[in-house]
A and B are shown apart, each in its own frame.
Chain A
């Protein structure tokens, strides 16, 4: 059973409908003991890093997520759920979960580009079971003003360009995380979710 983490941070509905569509066995979870019982975790989210961390800390979900990540079981972060895996976010100067070393930074405002980045962008991935069957030309849907900057470049799974090159997907042991929304990236995005269901770490 996949635990989909509910911490009051938006867009759960679209993850839920996408998982239903691909026939996943999942449960929306908001308690630490439910995470412990799960075989895999999906950690979605849209919103502000500070309020997300505050919600997670309220009932010990922050610690439960750190412990789950350390078990070596499959873990997928999406958007804000990718950012708060890191040590620190510039958004609200927020200390985050510290599961992946590095920082979350705001896009520079002098690039002459619209912020947030809203729309489709391509990703250069390092080969991985989660992108099995995907076209190199595939695009994914992004909505964000902040991006992750892993301390160890070996944790960069994918990169994209929006005025600057930035890390758009993260890999560390049993953890994969995407800045884009696979649940809103059409057929190619759904393939990533399907691959995650079948992924044996």
Chain B
């Protein structure tokens, strides 16, 4: 049976995993390579690493992290953050990632999606999209960039559809309003996007307990649920979350 995925997200700054609330006040919480290996052992389905390093000269550290992760985990993983050219994509993919995620750079230059998809295949190119509630937008959600700091003129739904046309093979929809709150995912936006596009949608932002994943995978029609805080601080184990979802009849990969 085809299964819904649980994706653990690690924000990496200068080689360390960090976590903030609503994109602010990040603190270091561990070594990304060790954390990735731990989650792999626990049975997570996929990992995402976001490079939130501020300066360009420190980006090389991220490539080393990717290379080390690739040697330790044998499940797919995606790398995003600061990817703004085909060359950036190539570096990350050659270091061992399956997918690259583009976010702000794709809003500023949408052709990066089509260029990447042509060279590496649609399955490699993930659109990361940060959306904030905004009644003025047609879908009710506005795309924001630069880690939530800069509003754009893009509507969440329109941009999602456009990115798929350009060649994005998957979309990670992150709700700025829900991010880090542990109050649950943004179900309305997730369902709206998932029903409108032909590619998988990964819901992100707001997970605090296993029932939140159930909600977004059932009601929100997400294909995968991204989690961070709820496992990074030891509140829940991957196994616990999977057992819960299994009992609730969400098709999920069993840990053997």
Contacts and interface: CB of A to CB of B under 8 A. Distances in A.
Interface stretch (A34-42, A82-90, A131-139): A131-139
Nearest to A190: B74
B250 to A, nearest CB: 13
Interface stretch (B103-111, B116-124, B135-143): B116-124
A139 B123 contact: no
B1 A122 contact: yes
Given A13-B96, A48-B121, A120 B253 contact: yes
Given A10-B120, A137-B256, A114 B1 contact: no
B198 interface: yes
Interface stretch (A23-31, A58-66, A179-187): A179-187
A64 B248 CA distance: 51
A187 to B, nearest CB: 7
Interface stretch (A14-22, A67-75, A147-155, A169-177): A14-22
B165 interface: no
B123 A46 contact: yes
B179 interface: no
A199 interface: no
Contacts of B1: 121-122, 161
Contacts of A201: none
B74 A119 contact: no
Nearest to A140: B253
Contacts of A184: 74-76, 98
Contacts of B94: 13
Contacts, number: 95
B224 interface: yes
Contacts of A109: 198
B223 interface: yes
A185 B75 contact: yes
Nearest to B256: A135
A94 to B, nearest CB: 15
B198 to A, nearest CB: 6
B224 to A, nearest CB: 7
B122 to A, nearest CB: 7
A119 B4 CA distance: 7
B145 to A, nearest CB: 25
B121 A10 contact: yes
B71 interface: yes
Contacts of B74: 14, 17-18, 21, 183-187, 189-190
B256 A120 contact: no
Contacts of B76: 141, 143, 184
Nearest to B118: A48
23 contacts: A10-B93, A10-B121, A13-B70, A14-B74, A14-B98, A17-B96, A109-B198, A114-B199, A114-B200, A115-B199, A118-B123, A118-B169, A118-B199, A119-B5, A119-B200, A119-B224, A120-B5, A121-B1, A139-B253, A141-B76, A143-B76, A185-B74, A187-B74
Interface of A: 10-11, 13-14, 17-18, 20-21, 46-48, 109, 113-122, 135, 137-139, 141, 143, 160-162, 183-190
9 nearest A-B residue pairs (beta carbon): A139-B253, A120-B253, A135-B256, A120-B3, A121-B2, A143-B123, A114-B200, A137-B254, A13-B96
Given A14-B98, A17-B74, 5 more contacts: A17-B70, A122-B3, A137-B256, A160-B2, A161-B1
